[in-house]
Amino acid sequence: MPDQALILVNLGSTPSTDVADVRRYLDQFLMDRHVIDVPWPLRRLIVSLVLRTRPAASAAAYRSIWWDEGSPLLVIGRRLQARVAERWHGAPVELAMRYGEPSIEKVLCDLARRGIQRATLLPLYPQFADSTVTTVLEEARQTLQRHRLRLQLDLVAPFHDRPEYLSALGASMRPYLAQPHDHLLLSYHGLPERHIRKADPTGRHCLCGPSCCLEPPANVLERCYRAQCVRTSERLTAALGVPHERWSLAFQSRLGRAKWIEPHTDVVLKELAAQGVRRLLVACPAFVADCIETLEEIGIRGRETFLAAGGEELTLIPCLNDQPQWVDAVAALSRQPSGKPLAA
């Protein structure tokens, strides 16, 4: 594939910690119908209310983890892009963000202007969700149609149980597991329960019982975010040799009043401390790059919650970022597109 470009896509970030920039970013993000999946008038009302207070709080959170080079997510993305380019085929390797810059639209239009006719699109989300993967694909499809681009996109599907991803993740965690600790917490981004039920192709499996995510039918597993998180956790801890009683799974980042999938990370942090866990390791397998959800929500607020509940030490295991084995995994995954191609 000497002339086939590669596009790595992540969520995005505010361009600065200025409250106005954060407000614009949150408005674009929250107004996505795949993120807040209610009719537009109600979504507009909800987001307008959120934007009264949340930008200032989010700006303060961003300032607490901001790097000299800028947003950690964007800086890490650029590093990954450069390292993957060394393992690609001489064709362009681009970084795009679903929200903010560099936008998917800008990247696709630029590739088309340069005469690229085919590219591989890799959403950097190990587990499937409409609010991550589907919205990326929809934005890419709409861009191709809106600009009438003669560009075919080969898709890399979510890779929650792919050996390349699990092996890289395990390698990044082993040095931390070798240190003294009492417990491992795997904290994934949360979703409203209605997102899980809506994605269930059977309409009767997801969230219908305590064991629904353990052995779901193949067609359910393909679209169930929670089941994929469970599958990632089970295979990862088995490969690492972590006994089942020494690890837990939880979901972070709740927003609004809707019921979100459980157990909740902030609640589990308190429960583990109450159970006598003093030295806790936390990894965030739904994120491949450190960002505000890992560095601030877990590394700062989560640590404060755990220590206040009686814990003594919380160690945040870094995400895969631009570690060499992850760079190799990204290149390998990108050479094996597994989704239906997109074209205008």
**Is the pLDDT reported for residue 2 higher than 60?**
no
Buried b (16+ CB within 10 A) or exposed e, 249-263: bbbbbbeeeeebbee
Q: Output the pTM of the full model.
A: 0.95
Question: What ranges do the domains of the chain cover?
Answer: 5-159+324-334, 163-316
* CA-based nearest residue to 80, from 182, 158, 155, 7: 7
**Is the pLDDT reported for residue 322 higher than 90?**
yes
Residue whose entry in the numeric block shows the structure tokens 């965690």: 173
* CATH assignment of 163-316, among 3.40.430.10, 3.40.50.1400, 3.40.50.2020, 3.20.20.70: 3.40.50.1400
DSSP state letters, 94-113: EEEEEESSSBHHHHHHHHHH
| Angstrom distance (rounded) from CA 143 to CA 122 | 16
pLDDT tens-place string over residues 151-200: 999 999 999 999 999 999 999 999 999 999 999 999 999 999 999 999 99
Residue 1: the pLDDT is 45
DSSP annotation of 158 reads P
Do 172 and 281 touch, CB atoms closer than 8 A? no
Residue whose entry in the numeric block shows the structure tokens 């949340």: 54
5-159+324-334 and 163-316 agree in CATH topology = yes
* CA-based nearest residue to 140, from 153, 130, 129: 153
pLDDT tens-place string over residues 106-149: 999 999 999 999 999 999 999 999 999 999 999 999 999 999 99
| Angstrom distance (rounded) from CA 340 to CA 344 | 13
**Is the pLDDT reported for residue 74 higher than 70?**
yes
Find the mean pLDDT for residues 311-331.
98
Architecture of domain 5-159+324-334: 3-Layer(aba) Sandwich (3.40)
Do 157 and 339 touch, CB atoms closer than 8 A? yes
